[in-house]
Amino acid sequence: MNNSLKVLYDEHEIITGAIETARSAKSLIGINDEEYELAISELIRFFRVYADQYHHHKEEEILFPEMAKKNELLADGILKEMYDHHTWFREMLKAIELDFEHKQYLAASEKLDEYTEALVSHIAIENEELFQAAYTLFSDDELENIYFRFVDLDRELGDSKKLDLSELISELILEVKN
C-alpha cells in the first residue's frame, strides 16, 4: 500500500537536512564568502522549489482541501494556520533573497535563521498534529488515492528535478560540514 502521509514525512526529513545545512553554512560568513554564496544560493533554490513547489503545493492543492471536506472545523483552524505559514515562508524567502543579492550576508543569515526556526516549528505541527488527524480522517483507500495524486503532481513538476534537489541537499550537507 502506498501512503501519501509517508511521502510528506519523508519530504520533511529532506527539508530538515536543508535546515541543518543552512544553520551550518552561517559559520562560513567572513571565512569563505564564496562557499557561503554557493551554499545559500542553492539552499534558497531548494526551499523555493522543493519545499514550496513540490511539498507545500501537495498540501495546499491536495491534502488540505481533502481534509477540509472531511472536517470543516479544520479548515478554519489548523489548515488556515498552515496556509498562512506557507504564505509567510514565501515572503520570508523573498526578503532573504533580496539581502543575499545585495551581499548583506549577516542580514540574510538572520532572516534565514528566522525562516528555518519557523519551518522547524511548522514541520512539528504537521508531523505531530495535522498528519495524525489525517490518519483518522481518511481510509486506507483514500490515503492511497491522495498518494497517486501526489505522484501525478511530482511528475507534472518533474520527478528528476525533485530527485536532483534532494541529492543536492545531501551533497551540501557534506560540503558545509567539511
Say whether pLDDT at 89 is over 80.
yes
| pLDDT of 37 above 90 | no
137-167 residue pLDDT tens: 999 999 999 999 999 999 999 989 998 888 8
Given this model, what pLDDT does residue 83 score? 96
What's the pLDDT score for residue 78? 93
- Rounded CA-CA distance 89/114 in Å is 10
How sure is the predictor about 178, in pLDDT bands with cuts at 50, 70 and 90?
A: low
pLDDT at 36 (0 to 100): 76
- 178 residue type, one letter: N
Where does the pLDDT of residue 176 fall: very low under 50, low under 70, confident under 90, or very high at 90 and above?
low
What residue spans define the domains of the chain?
4-177
Q: Which residues contact 106 (CB under 8 A, 6 or more apart)?
A: 29
170: nearest Cα among 11, 17, 13, 16? 17
CATH superfamily of 4-177: nmb1532 protein domain like (1.20.120.520)
pTM: 0.92
DSSP assignment of the chain: ---HHHHHHHHHHHHHHHHHHHHHHGGGTTT-HHHHHHHHHHHHHHIIIIIIIIIIHHIIIIIHHHHHHH-HHHHHTHHHHHHHHHHHHHHHHHHHHHHHHTT-HHHHHHHHHHHHHHHHHHHHHIIIIIHHHHHHHS-HHHHHHHHHHHHHHHHHH-HHHHHHHHHHHHHHHHHHH-
Q: Which three cell numbers stand for residue 160?
A: 528528476
